Amino acid sequence: MTKQYDVITLFPEMFDAIADSGVTRRALDEKVWALTCWNPRDFATDKYRTIDDRPFGGGPGMVMKAEPLNAAIDAAIQRQQDLQLAHFTNKPKVVHLTPQARPITDAGIRQLVEEPGLVFLCGRYEGIDERLIEARVDLEISIGDYVLSGGELAAMVLIDAMVRLLPGVLNTPESAIEDSFSPARDGYLDHPHYTRPEVWNGATVPTELMSGNHAGIAKWRRKLVLERTLKRRPDLLDSAGLSKEDLKLLNEIHQKQK
C-alpha cells in the first residue's frame, strides 16, 4: 500500500528537494509513497493570516500559534483517513520534529516506516505553543545534536531514510540490507568501494578485489568492515555480538597495527 506522508510546514517548496530528485522522486512517480504539504498560513482565519505571535512572558523571537496548526493537522488527518477508507481507518501519528527529543537511529527509522502514514509537524521561529504539542503530538524526534533553522530538513531526512527502505525503491535491494548500520551487518560500517580505472592518481585497487576469488573478497571486505568500525566508531563494535570468525579477523587487524 502507498505510504502517505503529510507535512505541516510554512515552507512547502522546500519539499521539492525530495519530490523532484533521486530515488525519492522515482518512488513518488511509482506511487510507493505520496506527499501532501499543508501550509498553516492557509488555515489562519484573520485578515493578515497570522501564524505566529509574541511569547507570553516576553523574550526574543516569535512562537507559532496553536490554532492554524491545529486546523492544518485536522485537515491532514481527515484526508489520510479518507484515503485509507477501504483499508483500515487508524489515525496517523503526528510527529513533531524538534531538537529537544532523542535523536533518531536506524532502528527508529525502521520502526517509523512500518506506519501506513504519518503527519510531520515542522516548527519555525522559537517553536510551537506548548498546548498544541500536548494536545496533538504523538511522537517527538530530533535528527541529531546540532541546531537547524526549522523542522523541514529534519522531516525530509526522515522521509528519505524511510522511503529508500520500501520494497522496490532501490535498484539493488542488497544495498539497503548491506548498508552501514543495518541489522544485516550487525550495525557495523560499510567497507570501502572501488571502480575503474585500476590505477587512478597513482593509486591502485587492493589486490584482493582483483583476484576473482569470491571467498577471499568476502573475507577481505568483512575485515575492512571490522577495521573501519574499530577505527571510526568503536562504540558500534561494543554493542554488536562478535562471531568467532569476526574475533579472528579483529586479531589479525590487531597484529597488523604493531
- Which residues are tagged catalytic? 99, 126, 164, 179
- Residue 40 interacts with ligand 9D3 (CB under 6 A)? no
Assigned C-alpha cell, 172: 539493488
Closer to ligand 9D3 by CB, 143 or 169: give it: 143
The span from the CA of 127 to the CA of 42, in Å, is 19
Instruction: For 112-128, give one letter per residue: b (16+ CB within 10 A) or e.
Output: bbebebbbbbbbbbebb
**Which of residues 20, 46, 126, 198 is near ligand 9D3 by CB under 6 A?**
126
- Residue 127 interacts with ligand 9D3 (CB under 6 A)? yes
Residues 82 and 126: beta-carbon distance below 8 Å: no
Shortest approach of ligand 9D3 to residue 80 CB, angstroms? Answer: 22
The residues in 142-171 that bind ligand 9D3, with binding defined as CB under 6 A, are 142-144, 146-151, 154
Q: In this chain, which stretch among 7-15, 63-71, 138-146, 180-188 interacts with ligand 9D3, using CB under 6 A? A: 138-146
Closer to ligand 9D3 by CB, 125 or 219: give it: 125
Shortest approach of ligand 9D3 to residue 129 CB, angstroms? Answer: 13
Cα→Cα distances 130→69, 75, 119, 123, 134, Å: 12, 20, 18, 12, 6
Residue in this structure with the C-alpha cell 571490522, named with its chain if needed: 226
Q: Residue 256: CB partners within 8 Å, gap ≥ 6?
A: none
Amino acid at 253: I
Q: What is the DSSP letter of 167?
A: T
Q: Residues 60-99: x/- map of binding to ligand 9D3 (CB under 6 A)?
A: -------------------------------------xxx
Amino acid at 224: L
Closer to ligand 9D3 by CB, 136 or 185: give it: 136
Closer to ligand 9D3 by CB, 64 or 225: give it: 64
Residues that bind ligand 9D3 (CB under 6 A): 97-99, 123, 126-127, 142-144, 146-151, 154
